[in-house]
Structures are given as structure tokens and as C-alpha cells.
Chain A
């Protein structure tokens, strides 16, 4: 697959989106190469299911293609808008899952395991993912956006459509819960008590 060349890599997301809306043949490929890995990773961290994460990422991109002709350059970040779409799609799927037996979603699928192998230090990352999965949806989303995706609280507030203080509260509670969950596995994960 072709990677973006240097000049194309410097084109902002919203400018590429405008190019796409104007009929540029390569803009969609460049945007997909740039954005799809992040959306897929975020959806996977939220859902812990590769097939569902792929569906969510595809749906989010589809909505981006649809809104492209009406996109107003400079008003919103494309990534923020996409994170919000992914967040809503994941929330919908997590709600639907609640009617499914817990055993059916507790373990990653075979495909998900192979995806996790792409990540460094698999044991710790798997442990963190497992702990994230046990958090309430909103806490999980806030913690992932803040501590894994590295977004600022104001941007997370826009994505989650809540106030900044609510974001701070969700991340603090989520982090505290994760620490409690993982405390019992310190030794197993290779963290000494020194």
C-alpha cells in the first residue's frame, strides 16, 4: 500500500476532505491511510472485538464521506468529529451487548488475539485492556481518550458532549478503578514492590 509522500502528509485533514468533496481521486485513499488505523485502534480498545471494531471504523469513515460536501473548513477538527462518531457507535454496540451472555464477550476472539500480538509487551497491554473492559462505558471511553489517545480534556469534552469537569471526574474515577483492578496482578506483570 502506498504511504503518503511528504507534501501530501502535510495537507491538513480538512483540506483533504475538501479535495475529496471536489472529486479528487486520491484524497480518500490518503485520508483512509491516515485516519483508519487510529479509528480502528480506538474502536478495538473500546469493544475488544476486531470484527466489530472494523465495522465501526468503516461506518465512521462512511459518515465522513457523506458529510464531506458540507464540511466547513476550519470549524472543527476532523479527528475530533470522527472520535465522536466512533464513541457513539461503540456506545450503541456496548448497549446492545448487555443483552448477550457475559461469557460471549469476556474473552477476545481469535482474530482479536492476533491483533493484540501487534502491540508491544503483550502481557501488560492485554492486562490493561482487560481491566479497561471492566470499566463502565463512559469511564473507559474517557480514560482511553485521555491516557491512551493522549487528547486534552477540552477535546474529550467535545467528543463526549459533556463538560470538562465531567471529563476530569470520569478519568479520575476510571484511573482509580483500574489501579484497584491491576494491583493484585503487580507481580504477575513484572512490577516489583520496591
Chain B
């Protein structure tokens, strides 16, 4: 074995021994100093935003909002009044009975006619 090879082998062995040696353990004092630096330099963490909970509304307000607010209420009121008015004024013009009864036979059709028309059967 040449001197160069022997010396290289020796050096490789010494490298591996130094490499296998544990790293130096930092003293408690050094660790304390490093962590104190870290605490000083650490950016303040941003505060966590709390979610905004909307205040509860009274039932009537919720109902009002659900149907569309005051404009919708006025519309409903108008429709209600119109319904009552139609009920009172237009009652006599309504046909008694339902629509199907008008189509069921001549007898019913004739009895449904109003206006004082007398129908008499002529004697032959």
C-alpha cells in the first residue's frame, strides 16, 4: 500500500470519527440567549377576528322583512279591501250554483234565468 493511499485511508477514518461524534450540545445559557433574541424579534401575531353575530330581531320585524317590507303590506291591504268591496257590491250578479250545474240540463238552465220572464207551455 502506498503512503498516499495509507494517509488517505487514515484521513477518511478520522473524518468519519469526527462526523460520528455528536454535535456540541448548546449550554443552557446559550439556549436562553437565543430564545430571548427570538422572543424580542418575533413579530406580534395578528389578533384573531371575532365573527360579528347579527342581533336577533323581534318576530313581527322578521315577518315584515320576510314578506318584503311595508310596500308589500300596503299591497296586501289594498288587495284585502278590494276583496271585501267586490264581495259586497258584486253579490247579486253572481250566478247561483256552480258552472257544471248550468251545463247539466235544460231544466236547471231555465230555472237559473232571472228577470221575471214567464215561460208557459202553450196548449196545442
Contact = CB atoms under 8 A, between A and B. Distances in A.
Nearest to A32: B34
A4 interface: no
A37 B14 contact: no
A44 to B, nearest CB: 6
Contact of B7 (A28, A65, A128, A183): A183
Contacts of A118: 21-22, 24-25
A75 interface: no
B15 A147 contact: yes
Interface residues of B, number: 37
Given A22-B45, A58-B33, A61-B37, A127 B14 contact: yes
Main secondary structure of the interface of A (DSSP, over half): helix
Given A1-B31, A148-B18, A57 B26 contact: yes
A25 to B, nearest CB: 9
A23 B41 contact: no
A135 interface: no
A84 interface: no
Interface in B24-45: 24-28, 30-31, 33-35, 37-39, 41-45
B6 interface: yes
Mostly, the B contact residues are helix
B7 A179 contact: yes
Contacts of B14: 124-125, 127-128, 182, 189
B107 interface: no
Contact of A37 (B4, B13, B24, B45): B24
B17 A120 contact: yes
Given A179-B7, A179-B8, A28 B21 contact: no
A179 B5 CA distance: 10
Given A20-B38, A29-B38, A119-B22, 12 more contacts: A21-B43, A24-B45, A32-B38, A36-B34, A40-B24, A58-B37, A61-B37, A120-B21, A125-B17, A180-B7, A186-B7, A193-B6
Interface of A: 1, 20-24, 28-29, 32, 36-38, 40-41, 44-45, 53-54, 57-58, 61-62, 65-66, 68-69, 115, 118-121, 124-125, 127-129, 147-150, 175, 178-180, 182-183, 186, 189, 191, 193-194
15 contacts: A1-B31, A20-B42, A28-B38, A32-B26, A32-B31, A32-B34, A36-B26, A37-B23, A58-B37, A62-B37, A62-B41, A68-B42, A124-B17, A128-B18, A147-B15
